[in-house]
């Protein structure tokens, strides 16, 4: 079986279908303009599906479509349908800001999509607007409830928590998700990309989030799904559902990381904090056969030795501290969150 330097298998593929976004979340994409990927460089659905099929042959069981904002990619439901027909692929998931979900949910569901994460950091419409700089909370909620009405699930809500910005939204988000049967995923604010001005003081640790929630709604830990999922899951003792916490800064999970990322322009990236990727698009477009591409994928994964979040924690705990700007990273919109 394919294993990397630290004996980690390849199980999970995150595909960025576009680097464009209709929001400008302050923690992700704070500027108005970026150097966008040229449209001719963006992988076609056929190219993505071919690669996904090869990845499944190497052990991938789950694909997540992300971006940028994946629902900005025209006819993304067609990609979902193509991926749905890949034998051996157990799950197709989507992470979206939800702005365009209400109008696309029926076609997406018809194409076979069942699992959706919608990013909602606050239930206060004005604050939502401030945090996303362009978002309309009402539209997002309409999309979320439309998905629920169609019976899709599990429906998860991702919330990035920033101290002094939306840490007072933790409990309202928990109440909302308990009331409506959604599963919250609280995410520690991370130093992704190079432009979000991350400082550790603005991060609320997973431990603190759990303590705050537990004080109001007692919880029991269930650990990580398969021992490798980014989220540690907790269930409410009163049977009111479950939540997850993704604490990649304070409790890194590099040791179990089985995720690869495919950028919209066809680069294979082996860590969320990588500074570069491996060019698959040129290989595809030069007419390479499946065997040649498989050999390339294997050789990249064999050599994979990323453990960035563990190294960051070591640096954070060292006398010199951690300097996010000393390491240039690919922007999250490019490599897919």
CA distances to 104, 108, 235 from 74, rounded to whole Å, are 10, 12, 38
Report what 189 binds from ligand SF4, ligand SAM, none; CB cut-off 5-8 Å by kind. Answer: ligand SAM
Residues at the contact surface with ligand SF4, assessed by CB under 6 A: 21, 23-25, 28-29, 67-69, 97, 119, 333
Q: Are 92 and 17 in contact (CB under 8 A)?
A: no
Least Å distance between CB 276 and ligand SAM? 19
Residues at the contact surface with ligand SAM, assessed by CB under 6 A: 21, 27-28, 66-67, 69, 95-97, 119, 158, 160, 187, 189-190, 192, 196, 332, 337
Helix axes of 76-84 and 101-110: crossing angle, nearest 10 degrees: 30
Q: Are 37 and 265 in contact (CB under 8 A)?
A: yes
Considering the complex, state which of residue 189 and residue 253 has its C-beta at the smaller distance from ligand SAM.
189
Least Å distance between CB 293 and ligand SAM? 26
Considering the complex, state which of residue 23 and residue 308 has its C-beta at the smaller distance from ligand SF4.
23
Least Å distance between CB 121 and ligand SF4? 9
Considering the complex, state which of residue 53 and residue 97 has its C-beta at the smaller distance from ligand SF4.
97
Considering the complex, state which of residue 66 and residue 274 has its C-beta at the smaller distance from ligand SAM.
66
Neighbours of 7 (CB within 10 A): 8
Give start and end residues of each alpha helix (H) in the chain: 45-57, 76-84, 101-110, 125-132, 137-149, 170-180, 206-216, 281-285, 290-303, 308-316, 332-335
**Closest-approach residue to ligand SAM (CB):** 337
CA separation for the pair 15, 67 (Å, rounded): 7
In which residue are the tokens 């498989």 written?
Answer: 294
Least Å distance between CB 69 and ligand SF4? 5
């Amino acid at each position: 079986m394919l294993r990397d330097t630290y004996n980690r298998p390849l199980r999970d593929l995150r595909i960025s279908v576009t680097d464009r976004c209709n929001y400008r979340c302050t923690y992700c994409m704070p500027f108005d303009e970026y150097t966008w990927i040229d449209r001719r460089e963006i992988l076609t659905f056929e190219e993505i599906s071919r690669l996904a099929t090869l990845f499944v042959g190497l052990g991938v069981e789950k694909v997540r479509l992300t971006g940028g904002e994946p629902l900005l990619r025209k006819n993304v439901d067609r990609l979902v349908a193509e991926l749905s027909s890949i034998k051996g692929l157990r799950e197709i998931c989507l992470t979206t800001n939800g702005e365009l979900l209400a109008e696309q949910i029926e076609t997406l569901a018809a194409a076979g999509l069942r699992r959706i994460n919608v990013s909602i950091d606050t239930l206060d419409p004005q604050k939502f607007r401030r945090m996303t700089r362009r978002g309309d909370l009402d539209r997002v909620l309409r999309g979320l409830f439309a998905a629920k009405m169609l019976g899709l699930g599990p429906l998860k809500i991702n919330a990035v928590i920033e101290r002094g910005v939306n840490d007072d939204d933790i409990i309202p988000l928990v109440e909302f998700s308990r009331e409506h049967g959604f599963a919250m995923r609280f995410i520690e604010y991370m130093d992704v990309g190079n432009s979000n001005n991350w400082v550790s003081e603005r991060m609320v640790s997973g431990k603190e989030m759990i303590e705050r929630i537990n004080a109001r709604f007692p919880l029991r830990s269930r650990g990580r799904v398969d021992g490798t999922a980014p989220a540690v899951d907790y269930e409410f003792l009163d049977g009111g559902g479950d939540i997850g916490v993704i604490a990649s800064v304070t409790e890194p999970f590099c040791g179990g990381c089985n995720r690869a990322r495919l950028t919209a322009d066809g680069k294979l990236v082996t860590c969320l904090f990588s500074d570069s990727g491996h060019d698959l698009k040129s290989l595809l477009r030069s007419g390479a056969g499946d065997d040649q591409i498989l050999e390339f994928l294997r050789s990249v994964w064999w050599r994979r030795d990323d453990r960035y979040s563990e190294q960051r924690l070591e640096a954070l705990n060292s006398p010199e501290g951690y300097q996010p700007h000393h390491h240039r990273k690919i922007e999250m919109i490019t490599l897919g969150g």
